[in-house]
Amino acid sequence: MKIIARGAEATIYDNKDIVIKYRKRKGYRLKEIDETLRYSRTQREFNALKRCHDAGVRVPIPMRISDDGDRLYMEKINAAQLDYRFSPLVMSGVGDIVAMMHKAGVIHGDLTTANMLMNGKKITLIDFGLGYFSKKDEDRATDIAMLKSALKSRHVKVFKQAYQLFIRHYKKRIGKEFKGIETHLRDIERRRRYYENG
């Protein structure tokens, strides 16, 4: 088995075109808390991936969770991390897929360009360990605000164009629900400015 990535939370293995995401034990956490966190994130990720896949949103197809609850088996996606070969133009496709995910009732919870894979024009969303089910404007706005600040910090030179393209496509696809989401986005930003300048 080959290791493809080693993050703070998980190690990602490639086993003959199946990807295994293993959330390793963290010694500094109390054992019970550590297990609850690792199992619940694995389960949340599986559930969110399944809901997305069933709704036709491009994500790795989830296969199963190991009996001990800390390994997720899923389809391997042959694509590069979006932030490594970023161009603001890809954000139109990101706007479309994030809107589709929200329409399917899924909130990602950690929406950054590091959690998107790209192959040609095809975008795939990954890393749903903080994902949950909701169709609330407020929760959708939280996802968008997180993506916006990720764009600002990682792709500062093209941030404006990238975000505009994202919003234009997101708005078009999410439809009339955009109005409520936009209101919450403004609230989030007002609060953020207040704390940053306060």
Which residue is catalytic, options 14, 34, 83, 110? Answer: 110
Determine contact, residues 117/75, Cβ cutoff 8 Å: no
Which of 3, 4, 33, 156: binder of ligand ADP (CB under 6 A)?
Answer: 4
13, 38, 48, 60: which one binds ligand ADP (CB under 6 A): 60
Stretch that binds Mg ion, among 63-71, 98-106, 121-129, 182-190 (CB under 5 A): 121-129
**Angle at CA of residue 130, ends 56 and 87, nearest 5°:** 65
State the amino acid at position 64 in one-letter form.
Answer: R
Segment contacting Mg ion by CB under 5 A, of 84-92, 111-119, 150-158, 187-195: 111-119
110 a catalytic residue: yes
Could you give the string, one character per residue 125-164, with x where binding to ligand ADP holds by CB under 6 A and - elsewhere? Answer: -xx-x-----------------------------------
Is residue 19 involved in binding ligand ADP (CB under 6 A)?
A: yes
Give min distance, CB of 130 to Mg ion, in A: 10
Which residue, chain included where needed, has tokens 């109390």? 30
Burial (CB < 10 A; 0-12, 13-18, 19+), residue 102, is: buried
Rule CB under 5 A: say whether 127 interacts with Mg ion. yes
Q: Per rule CB under 5 A, is residue 124 in the interface with Mg ion?
A: no
7 binds ligand ADP (CB under 6 A): yes
Span of 31-39, 72-80, 146-154, 187-195 interacting with ligand ADP by CB under 6 A: 72-80
Binding region for ligand ADP (CB under 6 A): 4-5, 7, 9-10, 12, 19, 21, 60, 74-77, 81, 114-115, 126-127, 129
